[in-house]
Amino acid sequence: MIHQRTIANSFSLKGLGLHTGVEVNLVFKPAPAGHGIKFQRVDLEGQPVIAADVNRVVSTDRSTTIGSGDANVSTVEHLLSAVSGLQIDNLLVEIDGIEIPILDGSAMPFLEPLLAAGFEEQEEQREYFIVEEPITYRDEESGVEIVALPYDGFEVVSMIDFDSPTLGQQYATLRGYEDYATDIAPCRTFVFLHELEALFEHDLIKGGDLTNAIVIADQLVPQERLDKLAKRMGKETVEVTKKGILNTIQLKFHNEPARHKLLDVIGDISLLGVPIRGRILATKPGHGSNVGFTKLLKRAYMEQRRLKGRPQYNPNDKPVFNTVEIQKIMPHRYPFLLVDKIISMDEKVIVGVKNLTMNEEFFQGHFPGNPVMPGVLQIEAMAQTGGLLVLSQQEDPYGWDTYFLKIESAKFKSFVVPGDTVLFKMELIAPIRRGICQMRGTAYVGNKIVSEAELVAQVVKRP
């Protein structure tokens, strides 16, 4: 069991936004279990709070921006990457502007004060998204492909290829979180010289300078252009090194650009809202593709949560009750005995199985030619399963019957057809009093919930 955690102490941070050039102040505060990662715009009326959630993404133009209503926070990826890399589950970040500061272009300026703040373990258990089958995001035009694969742990592999003779193809790998602080967090963002010049010309990076990005010159650059760039950035001069980068900073790793892309992937996929158990393979990732991929993960995660209570069925296991034993307790007989066996049972939960064949009597008249199990019979099968739980707890389980008093919140979500094996899971939602039992029923076929309802029944002694 792994518990959630937050930071132990609050702290402040400030810096310039890359695109706005405006100084912003951040305050990092501990948050309660289940809070998640959230930003609060304290400079706006009402101080709106924005959850770090992929469904809150409003832009991926050169950075990731999340928003709620009229309130936005941009360039969140490096901060979120540091938070994710340190496995922080709950955090409130107050900000008095629209953009997270760029600082040195990496996640390290966020990671170091987070480490210094310390961590506090919380009582609530951490929840994970477990990758159970391949999930693929692909863009044929750009060649982007991001895949999630089952894996007992966490691993990210990034590959970049910008058709640049200077940069070439680069790979980076992170296995687990142990090496994140040393191998990924220090890696800075990068930009090609021609992109940088265009951004300056359009006044789009007011807070940028030559110390918070690796600038790559992938073609021969006249010194006149370099001098013009240096003047604009307040430098005496700049030049291109033999490695094809401007001499304003030194590479920390030979594959620092690929490592930074991995840093971005971790930050963007943290918008899922829970950590991942799986392997992520990212080819030519960017913020737009990272967010598109994370939306696929979100859908799979929500389905996994919905099916979290799905019973596991192994037909080789010995049942709690077989059909003959069920008939000793239940008065129902063909064609109204709708449970073949009970595969698990405790004081509050029971799971029954019904194997459907074309020979079921109701298939003969219910949509002939397109046989479907009636929804009301699915509810009846739930009731019979729940009745076995209640009756088995009586001193004389053979002398009682159960009768419906109420059916609520019944939903039918998918057809049940010949050949299906249906699992009926019944859970007591209140103690049995005066023979009245309240139960929640869910019917599964494979990975699908086919129906659900809340049932109230009364246990009555047979005359």
Whether 207 has a pLDDT exceeding 60, the answer reads: no
- Confidence band, pLDDT 50/70/90 cuts, at residue 197: low
CB 268 within 8 A of CB 294: yes
Highest mean pLDDT pick, 119-133, 187-201, 202-216, 425-439: 119-133
How confident is the model over 2-22, as a mean pLDDT? Answer: 92
- Confidence band, pLDDT 50/70/90 cuts, at residue 202: low
Whether 1 has a pLDDT exceeding 80, the answer reads: no
State the pTM of this model: 0.75
> What is residue 151's predicted lDDT score, i.e. its pLDDT?
96
- Confidence band, pLDDT 50/70/90 cuts, at residue 247: low
Domain 3-184+258-304's class? alpha beta
Q: Per-residue pLDDT tens for 74-127?
A: 999 999 999 999 999 999 999 999 999 999 999 999 999 999 999 999 999 999
> What is residue 112's predicted lDDT score, i.e. its pLDDT?
98
Q: Per-residue pLDDT tens for 151-168?
A: 999 999 999 987 766 677
- Confidence band, pLDDT 50/70/90 cuts, at residue 287: very high
> What is residue 407's predicted lDDT score, i.e. its pLDDT?
94
Annotated catalytic residues are 287, 366
Neighbours of 168 (CB within 10 A): 14
Which CATH architecture does the domain made up of 323-461 adopt? Roll (3.10)
- Confidence band, pLDDT 50/70/90 cuts, at residue 237: low
Distance CA 26, CA 7 (A): 15
Rounded to the nearest integer, the mean pLDDT of the chain is: 90
- Confidence band, pLDDT 50/70/90 cuts, at residue 135: very high
**373: helix, strand or coil:** coil
Across 8-22, 205-219, 312-326, 377-391, least confident range: 205-219
> What is residue 62's predicted lDDT score, i.e. its pLDDT?
84
- Confidence band, pLDDT 50/70/90 cuts, at residue 4: very high
DSSP 162-211: -S-TTT-EEEEEEESSTTIIIIITTPPPEEEHHHHHHHHHTT--TT--TT
CA 7 to chain centre: 21
CB 450 within 8 A of CB 375: no
Whether 371 has a pLDDT exceeding 60, the answer reads: yes
- Confidence band, pLDDT 50/70/90 cuts, at residue 309: confident
The structure tokens listed for 357 are 């064949």
Whether 219 has a pLDDT exceeding 70, the answer reads: no
Whether 59 has a pLDDT exceeding 60, the answer reads: yes
Domain chopping of the chain, boundaries: 3-184+258-304, 190-251, 323-461
> What is residue 205's predicted lDDT score, i.e. its pLDDT?
65
> What is residue 204's predicted lDDT score, i.e. its pLDDT?
60
Checking phi first, is residue 75 left (phi over 0); if not, alpha (psi -120 to 50) or beta? left
**CA neighbor of 111 nearest in space, from 174, 176, 181:** 181
> What is residue 222's predicted lDDT score, i.e. its pLDDT?
67
| β-sheet bridge partners, residue 28 | 11, 93
CA distances from 377 to 203, 443, 451 (A): 67, 12, 11
Q: Per-residue pLDDT tens for 405-431?
A: 899 999 999 999 999 999 999 999 888
Across 38-52, 384-398, 447-461, least confident range: 384-398
CA 177 to chain centre: 17
How confident is the model over 384-405, as a mean pLDDT? Answer: 82
> What is residue 6's predicted lDDT score, i.e. its pLDDT?
98
Whether 458 has a pLDDT exceeding 90, the answer reads: no
Whether 251 has a pLDDT exceeding 60, the answer reads: yes
Across 127-136, 167-176, 337-346, least confident range: 167-176
Neighbours of 429 (CB within 10 A): 13
Percent of the chain with pLDDT over 90: 68
Residue 31 vs residue 207, higher pLDDT: 31
Domains 3-184+258-304 and 323-461 in one fold: no
- Confidence band, pLDDT 50/70/90 cuts, at residue 172: very high
> What is residue 234's predicted lDDT score, i.e. its pLDDT?
60
**Sequence-separated (6 or more) residues with CB below 8 Å from residue 142:** 284, 289
